[in-house]
Structure 1
Amino acid sequence: MSTGAVARRLGVSPTTLRSWERRYAIGPARREPGRHRRWTPGDIARLELMCRLTADGVPPAEAARAALGGAPGARGAVASPGPPTSPGGPDALPLGAVRPECRGLSRAAVRLDAPTVAELLEGVLAEDGLVTAWEEVIAPTLHAVGRKWATAGERYVEVEHLLSWQISAALHRIRPLPEPPRSPPVLLACVPGEQHSLPIEALTAVLGQRGVPARMFGAALPAEALHDAVRRTGPHSVVLWAQSRTTADPALARSVAGIEWGLRGARTRPALLLAGPGWGADVPGPRTERLYGLRSGLAVIESLAPPRAGTGAAGAEPFAYGS
């Protein structure tokens, strides 16, 4: 197998494999001059053992020595306190049936290997696009960190913080397209008291990729500031994120949905879009909808946006959203 194919199979980056080969001599056993390196099943078995050991918390140098010294495919090169509770050892995240990239990302996060986390995120964003990368790799890994944190007391808080920071940094590196002139924006904010903003950061980034004007106000925007921002920007839609029932505020949602601006007789109100698990199934008033995911939420916002200059409904740019 090629280095790229092995990296995808193991859920690590090709750069990580090259680094392991350079630092710890854990590379292809055979090479032929003038040809790209190829990994045999025995080579891959050693890499799989090294991945399992590093996920268990074994330092990379020690894991490489054990992988090189043990029989290819052997699992017992280093003593373990007991059988692993999940794939990758007792400290691995409970991912379930996921793409290999999730396992590579989770292993790097548990190791607090920020450069590898950043590289894996850049790779999956470039290869799959933001929406698919979020739904199939980033969000499942974040949920696994949350589940591990919930069952491990104060452990893994540092893993969650490092992973969240790297995801936020990767989203902020996505450059938006130029905004069409005189087009009302989408306003995105967390409700007061809500600190979890990553999902609407992802939504803001994908809106920017589509050239949809967006104004992102981040975590815990005070109610008065939220009202002022709506009046000043005149958005066609307002997205309010609430992660938990304790932060979701239906009264605030109703007040935002009732804000008007414009000339008397032609006043306008925004559509209110409630996002996040904190909101209940019921919506608090007219022109209010629930968003249930990045892909479907993007479709809702696009349907509410006014036609771009020079295009009518029939000439609007088509998008494929899926279910």
Structure 2
Amino acid sequence: MASLGSAPDDVSRAATVLPVGRVSALLGIPAVTLRTWESRYGIGPSARTSGLHRRYTVADVDRLRRMQELIGRGLAARDAAVLIDQDAAGRPDADGSATNTELLLSATESLRTTELDDLLQNCLDQRGAAQTWTEVVAPAFRRLEARFAGQGDCTDLELLLSRTFEATIERYVYRRGLRPSGGRPTILVHCPEERHTLPLTVLRAVLLERSQPVLTLGPETTTFAVRDFVRRVNPAAVVLWASITRPGQAELRRRVADGDHRTYTAGPGWPPHAEPFTNLSEAAATLTVRRSARLF
């Protein structure tokens, strides 16, 4: 957590409690705003005087300064408070993942699409597809989903982030020249009418990073076309992705399962008894075909 740093000399860490007026003057934040942050987000004073008057500790002021910095970067106050709570719970990310998630949300909320694309591309270059998804992008989606549950105002932001990341991954795969090394492929299938295509785009990139052969069929592909394609390709595995339950999924699974390949389900649209993949690392580990080590 950031320290007071630039606080005036007369406010030392020996001064363990401060009234709201003093904190307001110190940070340049109106007292009414400080009280709003306390009532709405729980970012407030934690100490009490002998007369039970609430007072800000130096740690409280650190949190307020952090709140001020995050809002100054473009984060909504609610999202900034969530991030501060995560820090307090002992989940800071030493490798910069939390900071990248903040910047990602800031660029998304401010509709700075060029900055958003650059940030995603840098993360992919530095971390690869799996870590970028798990450590940076997925936490951003979780924050947006939590905000939607509370306010219902960010469907457009989720769509912007999803489409931008999907396009950036496709460029990343092309620019890196990721290619399979041969063998029977895995076929990734979007169930009919599926609109959430990002998860399989990420999984495809992760498998290609591991030199795994992989093919993808979009949601416009009919059940019979999927069946015929599977028969023609003779894959090692087929993955059926569904974000929600729709008619025809069970029939698709039944028709695709006929063959000597493995058939997997993935996504929240499948019931528990279908044993779907529930996260990227599980899917990637299961679908990665181990090969003998090569000497170069």
Range into which the TM-score falls when normalised by the shorter chain: 0.5 to 0.7
SS at match of 1:221: coil
Report the equivalent of 1:74: 28
> Identity rate of aligned residues, in percent?
28
Q: 2: CA distance between counterparts of 1:72 and 1:234?
A: 69
**Counterparts in 2 of 1:194-233, with a 5 A limit?**
194-233=194-233
Identify which of 92, 111, 126 aligns with 2:79. Answer: 92
**Deviation at 1:280?**
1.7
**Deviation at 1:151?**
3.7
Q: Deviations over 1:109-150 (max 9, x none)?
A: 111111121122122222222212211111111122233234
Q: 1: CA distance between counterparts of 2:26 and 2:201?
A: 44
**Deviation at 1:197?**
1.2
Report the equivalent of 2:125: 126
Which amino acid is the alignment partner of residue 281 of structure 1?
P
Report the equivalent of 1:146: 145
Identify which of 153, 157, 160 aligns with 1:159. Answer: 157
**Counterparts in 2 of 1:307-318, with a 5 A limit?**
315-316=292-293
Query: Alpha carbons of 1:151 and 1:79: their partners in 2 closer, same or farther (altered >3 Å)?
Result: closer
Query: Alpha carbons of 1:91 and 1:170: their partners in 2 closer, same or farther (altered >3 Å)?
Result: same
Report the equivalent of 2:251: 251
TM-score, length-normalised on structure 1? 0.61
**Deviation at 1:220?**
4.7
Q: 2: CA distance between counterparts of 1:242 and 1:301?
A: 18
Q: 1: CA distance between counterparts of 2:167 and 2:25?
A: 41
**Deviation at 1:244?**
1.6
Report the equivalent of 2:45: none
2:124 touches 2:172 (CA, 8 Å); kept in 1?
A: no
**Counterparts in 2 of 1:290-301, with a 5 A limit?**
290-301=276-287
Identify which of 37, 59, 71 aligns with 1:83. Answer: 37
Query: Alpha carbons of 1:316 and 1:107: their partners in 2 closer, same or farther (altered >3 Å)?
Result: same
**Deviation at 1:100?**
2.1
Query: Alpha carbons of 1:219 and 1:210: their partners in 2 closer, same or farther (altered >3 Å)?
Result: same
Report the equivalent of 2:108: 109
**Deviation at 1:161?**
1.6
Gaps of 5+ in 1: 1-8, 11-39, 44-69, 261-268, 284-288, 309-314, 318-323
**Deviation at 1:228?**
2.1
Q: 2: CA distance between counterparts of 1:72 and 1:215?
A: 58
Corresponding position: 1:177 with 2:178: yes
Report the equivalent of 2:14: none
Query: Alpha carbons of 1:76 and 1:222: their partners in 2 closer, same or farther (altered >3 Å)?
Result: farther
Query: Alpha carbons of 1:83 and 1:299: their partners in 2 closer, same or farther (altered >3 Å)?
Result: same
Query: Alpha carbons of 1:130 and 1:74: their partners in 2 closer, same or farther (altered >3 Å)?
Result: farther
Corresponding position: 1:281 with 2:272: yes
Q: 2: CA distance between counterparts of 1:224 and 1:105?
A: 40
Q: Deviations over 1:195-239 (max 9, x none)?
A: 101111100011111111111123353212211221222111111
SS at match of 1:282: helix
Gaps of 5+ in 2: 8-23, 42-66, 92-97
Higher helix proportion, which one?
2
SS at match of 1:187: strand
**Deviation at 1:92?**
3.4
Query: Alpha carbons of 1:295 and 1:233: their partners in 2 closer, same or farther (altered >3 Å)?
Result: same
Q: How well do the aligned residues superpose, as a CA RMSD in angstroms? A: 3.2
**Deviation at 1:107?**
1.5
Query: Alpha carbons of 1:91 and 1:214: their partners in 2 closer, same or farther (altered >3 Å)?
Result: same
Q: 1: CA distance between counterparts of 2:125 and 2:232?
A: 35
